[in-house]
Amino acid sequence: MQLHDLKPRVKNKKAKRIGRGSGSGHGKTSTRGHKGAKARAGRLFYIGFEGDNVPFFRKIPKRGFNHRKRINYQIVNVGQIGALFAKDAKVTPQELFSRNLVKQQDSPVKVLGKGILKKPLNFAAHKFSKLAKDKIEKAGGKIEYISR
């Protein structure tokens, strides 16, 4: 096989010209038949139309409410952090991710106050509960807020 032997697999077909008079064979109703929704202009059916069946999206039960702007914080407790970090260590979401305390690296982190914190740590997170703040400051640590 050589370069001059190459040919396209399918020959280019021109699209049928519909609605160009009775002599073309596709005039008058323009291959749409007589009357009915498919013969009319505009959208034929709505998205999800299943023709005489109850559409699938109407069969699925609708439950609850999901707010589009909701922010799902990853939760970490002070007690968990205190057990894994050394004295005066910087606790950031990246550090928490590397030690498997949070599952996602990019989503925001909230620190809660469950557990005991005995050593001073420098925290950097998106949110802190009131109890967590009190425990961190009581242990001699510092709090830094990260913006989303």
Share of the chain above pLDDT 90, in %: 52
Evaluate whether residue 90 is within a structural domain.
Answer: yes
Evaluate whether residue 49 is within a structural domain.
Answer: no
Confidence (pLDDT) at 133: 94
Check which CATH number belongs to the domain holding 109 and give it. Answer: 3.100.10.10
Q: What is the pTM of this model?
A: 0.57
12 pLDDT higher than 80: no
Q: Could you list the residue range(s) of the whole structural domain that residue 119 is in?
A: 74-145
Confidence (pLDDT) at 4: 92
Give me the DSSP letters along 4-67: GG---SSPPPPPP--SS-GGGTS-TTTTS-SSSGGGSSS-SS-TT--SSSPPHHHHSPP-S---
Mean pLDDT score, 67-88: 91
Evaluate whether residue 81 is within a structural domain.
Answer: yes
Q: For the chain, what is the domain count?
A: 1
pLDDT confidence band for 113 (50 / 70 / 90): very high
Evaluate whether residue 35 is within a structural domain.
Answer: no
pLDDT confidence band for 74 (50 / 70 / 90): very high
Evaluate whether residue 25 is within a structural domain.
Answer: no
Tokens of 54: 């109850």
Evaluate whether residue 129 is within a structural domain.
Answer: yes
Evaluate whether residue 117 is within a structural domain.
Answer: yes
Evaluate whether residue 80 is within a structural domain.
Answer: yes
The pLDDT mean for the chain works out to 90
pLDDT in tens, 115-140: 998 899 999 999 999 999 999 999 99
